[in-house]
Structure 1
Amino acid sequence: MRSFSTIVTVTGTFMTMAVVLNEVFGSLFA
């Protein structure tokens, strides 16, 4: 279960970073 929890945490972090980067690039190139 520990590995599953780690995967969920990493995935959540990656998704959050993707959203932040999307917002940043969106504001830069808008």
Structure 2
Amino acid sequence: MRLAEGEFLVRLARRAVEAYLMEGRQIKPP
């Protein structure tokens, strides 16, 4: 794997996690 590909995957994973957390917060408000 190239370093650039690894960075891309990390960024994609972070965005996915952030989106998941945002959706979870909207569905289950504190």
- What's the TM-score bracket when you normalise by the shorter of the two chains? 0.7 to 0.9
Q: Which residue of 2 aligns with 1:27?
A: 26
- Aligned-residue offset at 1:7: 0.2
| Larger relative helix fraction | 1
Superposition RMSD in Å = 1.1
TM-score by length of 2: 0.87
* Count of residues paired in the alignment: 29
4+ runs deviating over 4 angstroms: none
Alignment gaps of 5+ in structure 2: none
